[in-house]
Copies of this chain bind each other. A is one copy, B any other.
Amino acid sequence: MGEKGRKILVAVDKGEESSYALSWCLENLLSENHQNYKDTLILLFAKTPLPIYSGMDTTGHVTSPSIIASVEKYANEVAEKVMCKATQICKDFNDQITMETMVEHGDPRDVICDVAERFKVDFLVVGSRGYGIIKRAFLGSVSNHCAQNVKCPVVIVKKPKSDNADH
């Protein structure tokens, strides 16, 4: 591999498959020279927007600000937890790895494509799933959307079935 470090975007989420994809990336895709890692990992989590607009829900009832606040608080906690786990996986692999964390608001499919483009990453790593089974049936998988829309190479990682506990 070249001497120049690359920017590798890794989409992370709550699922076990995303942790597996990150670990697989660390073990298989980082260019390394005597434990000297030149690549930069960008760990990206997309916070799905709340389905509440202007304090009014779909039935026209005004949603109390305290409910909005607690849903928002929960979303922040999830983001923090996901990032904490992801950075820990990287540090456990090797504490010399350069990484950046990024939390963005929006549909993961749009957020991932947008960040890949904006930061001109060398490639994107994504777990083959990334939504629950119901959402996936309606929206298609995140990985599929990214593979079709991102311009850079996309690495789609599936967790082997034998130790796939979350699906």
Chain A interface residues (CB < 8 Å from chain B): 1-2, 6, 24, 27-32, 122-123, 128, 143-144, 147-148, 151-158, 160-161
Nearest chain B CB to A149 CB, angstrom units = 10
Taken together, the copies of this chain in the complex come to 2
Contacts of A1 in B (CB 8 A): 27-28, 30, 32
The 5 lowest CB-CB distance pairs between A and B, nearest first, are: A153-B157, A154-B156, A155-B155, A147-B156, A1-B32
Q: Given the complex, which residues of B lie within 8 Å of A161, measured CB to CB?
A: 151
A153 with B152: in contact, given A28-B1, A29-B29 (CB under 8 Å)? no
Complex Cα distance, B2 from A32, in Å, reads: 10
Minimum distance in angstroms from A144 CB to a CB of chain B: 7
Q: Is the CB of B144 within 8 A of A152?
A: no
Contact assessment for B160 and A123 in the assembled complex, using a CB-CB cutoff below 8 Å: no
Taking A1-B28, A1-B32, A144-B148 as given, write out 14 further A-B residue pairs in contact, using a Cβ cutoff of 8 Å, ordered by the A residue number: A1-B27, A6-B28, A24-B153, A28-B29, A28-B122, A28-B153, A123-B155, A144-B147, A147-B147, A151-B160, A152-B158, A153-B157, A154-B156, A155-B155
